[in-house]
Chain A
Amino acid sequence: MSVSDTHRTIDAIWRIESAKLIAVLTRIVRDIGLAEDLAHDALVIALEQWSQNGIPNNPGAWLMTTAKRRAIDLIRRNKLRDQKYSEVARNTDLYTEDDMDHNLDGEIGDDLLRLIFMTCHPVLPQEGRVALTLRLLCGLTTDEIARSFLAAEATIAQRIVRAKRTLRDRDIPFEVPAGEELSDRLSAVLEVIYLMFNEGYSATSGNQWIRPLICQEALRLGRVLAEIVPYEPEVHGLVALMEIQSSRFRTRVNSRGEPVLLMDQNRAEWDQLLIRRGLKALDRSQKLGRPFGPYSLQAAISACHAKAPTAPETDWIRIAALYEALSRVLPSPIVDLNRAVAVSMAFGPDFGLQIVDMLGNESSLKGYHLLPSVRGDLLVKLGRFDEARKEFEHAASMTRNERERELLLKRAAECNSAH
């Protein structure tokens, strides 16, 4: 094996092992930044030794043992300075390669969970959470993260430094939150994963057909989480949502790099394996026997589209019901507008219009251009073109997006010629 081959192999091993290493080391040294440094030290030692002596049989265990030794050495050196750490050192057993295997399953899973609760902690700004999670749990380099977000490497690097500092300065504990806090904190974790996914999912543009890295990482992290906390229905819900959305990757952009709407996508090209995985994850969520949360509901809606052989065969009644449920757990105008359109598809535009009109009375929606825009579409469906034209013009006056304004004005003009 040449040196560069060894380096590539070590890269691959690092990708598989780094999150586990950092998680276990954070438990020992209680500092995420220090843990990452120690894991890197172990990697550097591996690079030196493996290039000369070859890669050991169990490289994961080798890295773990080496990193832990360094952690404990460090703690011993600081012993006089900090009594607390020396306690930790005394109680930390060094694993040998043999007993590594026994500890892999339960304990490391717990440490990974603690780590993700830390990187997604609410004291961090959203962007800090995303960057730190990609770095520590997905093992991405700063450069890879920067390229995925079209951001400067220095910006991402500094975000990560800042996030680590904040965690240290605020003395954020390495633990799984208990009691009522758990569900809030878990939503924060799921939010970070879904944010990552959406960022990658929406980023496809131009001839950038390659599936964005962070999308795949979000899905992978979701799958990992589903194994560590199998008793949380929303984790499976989120995984289901991401699997089903991913199944449409290859059809959502045409060969010119333009987005293709769901209706026009070639359903034969949807990835059936991912759809099947998504439906299975949704099933796991349902089997836990609690009412669906926002992710499971969105996954269930997505599943309706995935199961329809053709667009006209979509089960709109079920979709309308699911949006109704979603509007209760995730009240927001955009959910209500979706519900209004689904209801129109299921029961006719009269019923959809009733929902939109009720929304129109809410002052919080004043200035939301999608409201008149949807109202306009429903009015067109009812043949009330004069009213529809006014709605489109109104919507056009509200949007700041040039392209959107053009489209809306075009719709308004079409209403004139419809007479």
Chain B
Amino acid sequence: MSLTTDLSQATPPNGKPGVGKAGARRPGSGRAGSRDEPDGSAPAPRRRSRQRRERLFQWLFLVPAVVYMALFFGYPVVKNVVMSFQDYTTATFFTGEAPWVGLANYVAVLSSSLFSTSLLNTALFTVGSILGQFVIGLALAIFFQRKFPLNGILRSLLLLPWLLPLIVSSAVWRWILDKDSGALNRFLGDLNIVDTGVPWLTSTSLALIAVVGVNIWIGIPFNLTILYGGLQEIPDELYEAGSLDGATGWKAFRHITWPMLRPVVSVVLVLGVVYTLKVLDIILGLTNGGPANSTQTIATQSYGLSFQEFKFGEGAALGNILVIISLVFAVLYLRASRRAVDE
């Protein structure tokens, strides 16, 4: 169940002719004559060429995926780097000319007053979302370790917020958070906690908090599921041994659960960061970056530059900055996942 499981585990060694797949007899596949020869006695050069054919054949299974990944992930990354050094605008689509401008796009993007706002918002959005999702997800995961009727079905129903299209969630929350007739304000009003409608999505000081809140709601199922899986893998014996030594309740969590869960925790957190950094749907759906850029993140600003202002070069430059930030966490992720597998 791990991504990095050694390929060799499921594959028999194919170095030995006649046992592994590479050396298996395949009528009609070899050159004339080779088909009837016992595998072991084929002259070395012929066997090597047959192995090469075999290799080629095996690669054919992989080719479509490699081509697709190259076109839809590799090419965009390279193209984006190139575009970020060009003056790439709507005019480019007519003239086909995109003059080189060196670092001008990066200078324009980094020196704009909006960049620091976006960077700060991205950081607040990411940290706030991850913290909320993780703490609530972990609390629920621990809760669901209890044995009670309907546990499994209730836990799986909790997945629903995560399976809904993000734009659907955004639309629903926009209606719930509506200032005048949203459910949240009506609920708070009925309890006499507030007397006038709170402008959740239209106030510059509240919009980011509201967006983070919605993103926490979306992310809880993901955190719950992974952390629950991690908790399930901690052997019961550890808790039994711990309880003999007086480690129960908080002490058991502190000294048994947390250390054992650490690898899973680091994977959850870093994956969460990588996913949250690129969030676009929720913010565009809830606030469109507003009001007054108070929910503008690097991702939404990159979208705005490219697809609203048609400054594709600057949008690409900002996108690349986002990639670099993500890559830092990607390195952390790979290290974390390797550690998770080792343990």
| Chain A complexes with chain B | no
Residues of A within 8 A of B (CB): none
